[in-house]
Amino acid sequence: MARPREFDPNELLQTAITLFWEKGYFDASVDELVRRSGVAKYGIYGTFGGKRELFKTALQQYAADRHRDIQRPIRQPGAALPEIRQFFARAVQMMTAGGAARGCLMVNSGVELGLRDDEIRDCVADFFADLEAVMADALRNAVADGQIDRAADVPGLAAFLVTEYRTALMLTASGAGRRDIQAHLDVALRVLP
């Protein structure tokens, strides 16, 4: 007879996200996850499989979490220029909250594994392609609302804004402070009216 679960898989997954975010894939260990969570290895492996499967699940959950928090303004129906500005304002706050200079798990994973692991590279690329599509939708709404010129290159603007967002995340991970990150994004946002 199977033993009943004695832990919340969602809580364990959030602990795993934090561990991978802090240490990266290679420096994080299941033993450390056991120490941090109090969940035995058999529980981790039985629920998520090996470390790689756990990491992939952590990336998927991280993406879903970002859709609900930092990306929420631009994911609203009818999001336009005010919501794009709100997204970037929220981004700076979240990137620098609590003095944690972790950057973004997706960006960090892409840097660490992108040239070694096609599946992880594709996961990271899909995350940012989705963000770019959502940004483009908000920009199209801004054009329709007369907030941005009708001749605007919406796909080009969306790609540029997401690239600058990714750059800000890398600045955060490399220890840049709020002022520097805000200054970077202020310059990038000059492309918007």
Task: For the chain, list residues with pLDDT below 50.
Answer: 1-2
* Structure token pair of residue 103: 């950057």
59 contacts 16 by C-beta, under 8 angstroms: no
Which among 149, 107, 144 is positioned nearest to 124, based on CA atoms? 107
pLDDT tens digit sequence for 9-47: 999 999 999 999 999 999 999 999 999 999 999 999 999
Question: What's the confidence (pLDDT) of residue 188?
Answer: 96
Length of the chain: 193
Domain ranges of the chain: 9-59, 69-191
What is the CATH number that goes with domain 9-59? 1.10.10
Return the number of other C-beta atoms located less than 10 Å from residue 90's C-beta: 16
CATH for 69-191 (3.40.50.2020, 1.10.357.10, 3.20.20.70, 3.40.50.170): 1.10.357.10
Give 72-102 as a DSSP string. HHHHSTT--HHHHHHHHHHHHHHHHGGG---
**Topology alike, domains 9-59 and 69-191:** no
Question: What's the confidence (pLDDT) of residue 1?
Answer: 43
